[in-house]
Amino acid sequence: MKRAHSFWVVGSAILVTSGVAIFSAAPSAVFVRGEEGSSASSSSPVAVKARAKHLKTPEEVRAVYMTQCVVGTPSMRESLVKFIEETELNSVVIDIKDYAGKLAFTPGDESLKESVSDQCGALDMEEFVKSLHDKNIYVIGRITVFQDPYYTKLHPELAVKKLSDKTANWEDHKGLSFIDVSAKPYWDYIVTISKASYEIGFDELNFDYIRFPSDGNMQDIYYSWNSGISKSEALERFYQYLSEELESTGVITSADLFGMVTTNYDDLNIGQVLERALPYFDYIDPMVYPSHYPPGFNGYQKVNEHSYDIVYFSMKRSVERTIATTTSVASLAYTRIGTSSPAIYSKPSYDASKMRPWLQSFDYPVTYTPEMVRAQIKATEDAGLNSWLFWDPANKYRSLRAVLQNTPSSQ
């Protein structure tokens, strides 16, 4: 039986507030996919290249996240770039499309021009990405998918609706609206954004909010595009379409999933199941922020006192499920073995390195100390993994800086 869960959104992750869980190497040389075109100055909208240079994915990705507003503020973004250059960090995750639904740069595709943010972003994004490549920094572009207040206003017919008023868009507790996962016309919009982002030089595309809503009035929600399939299958059909449409570009892709997908086999009521995502992305990035696990997870009543334990337990389980050759989870990509009940399916044994966690360097709900940050890194390594990404919505990384720069951390 599936258990109901409610969630509290903080940054890119969600806190489960009810329900029970089951439970540095630098990038290699630049390569070119095609010929370069001309580039515009940073004072005008960027002219997109037909083909841009890209860095190969480092064997050990060590990344920090950069918001749209920070990438558009030279002094702040350069501080983060300096942090990367002076430490074992070698990668950065930059918002392409954030929680508001707007784009951080002006793409060459005319159909996307109205989607450009007038609040945050960088007109010189193409030049900035190139400057990062010149420093041998791998550039990952983050695209929020189904949470999109901008597009739901533009195309309300594609939005998740209220059950009590099917003409009104449903909103979560923060007033943010979602696109219905099964609204296929929107899928092409995401594909267009993805291709435009890759064309200007982003090495990898990271997809976040690839899920159903979770933290609003779930009793008053209606999916008008629902075709009668489960949430997990609806999401997998999107994964499959995205993968097929982007395959010809050669772009590397990654998916942000809730941390508890590593230990749960249900869909957490949001459609996310680890095995259903594995076939379609180069990397899976579980958000295993210790603060976002429910009290009692794996027996830990005070989860913030178990930074190492939670990350190790979660990532160890994710590795086991990734490398396994069979699974009890049905997928469009897997074949059932025999007729036994419960059903068993054959699946490819993916390399463990496909797992790459998001770790915590932000203060919630307690101060996250350098020791807690260091514990998460060690837990990742002890689980047999060598790549990680750190999240701090304020982009300060106080404790991570103390760990990597060996400097005292001011509280």
Bigger pLDDT: 285 vs 50:
285
Do you know the residue count of the chain? 411
Tell me the pLDDT band of 8, cut-offs 50, 70 and 90: very low
Answer yes or no: is 410 within a domain. no
Would you say residue 216 lies in a domain?
yes
Instruction: Name the pairing type of β-strands 138-144 and 204-208.
Output: parallel
Q: Specify the DSSP class assigned to residue 12.
A: T
Q: State residue 107 phi and psi, 5-degree precision.
A: -80, 160
Of 212, 219, 261, 260, nearest in space to 238 by CA: 212
Spatial distance between the Cα atoms of 411 and 409, rounded to a whole number of angstroms: 6
Whole-number percent of the chain with pLDDT over 90:
84
Give the chain's mean pLDDT.
88
Phi, psi of 62 (to 5 degrees): -125, 100
- 411 within a domain of the structure (yes/no): no
The verdict on residue 1 lying in a domain is no
Evaluate whether residue 180 is within a structural domain.
yes
Furthest-apart CA atoms within the chain: distance in Å? 64
Can you give the residue range of the structural domain that contains 292?
A: 6-405
User: Does 171 reside within a domain?
Assistant: yes
Full-model pTM? 0.87
Angular region, 382: left φ>0, alpha ψ -120 to 50, beta rest:
alpha
Residue percentage of the chain with pLDDT more than 70: 86
Query: Which of 233, 295, 276, 217 has its CA nearest to residue 6?
Result: 217
Using the structure block, give the residue that is written with the tokens 């193409």. Answer: 126
pLDDT digits (tens, 9 = 90+) for 53-89: 999 999 999 999 999 999 999 999 999 999 999 999 9
Residue 156 lies in a domain: yes
- The count of domains in the chain is 1
* Confidence bin at 10 (pLDDT 50/70/90): very low
Element (H, E) at 346: strand 344-346
Q: Which CATH number does the domain housing residue 216 bear?
A: 3.20.20.80
Residue bearing tokens 């990405």: 129
The answer as to whether 182 is a domain residue is yes
Give residues with Cβ within 8 angstroms of 9, minimum separation 6: 15, 172, 173, 174, 214, 215
C-alpha 79/C-alpha 401 separation (Å) is 12
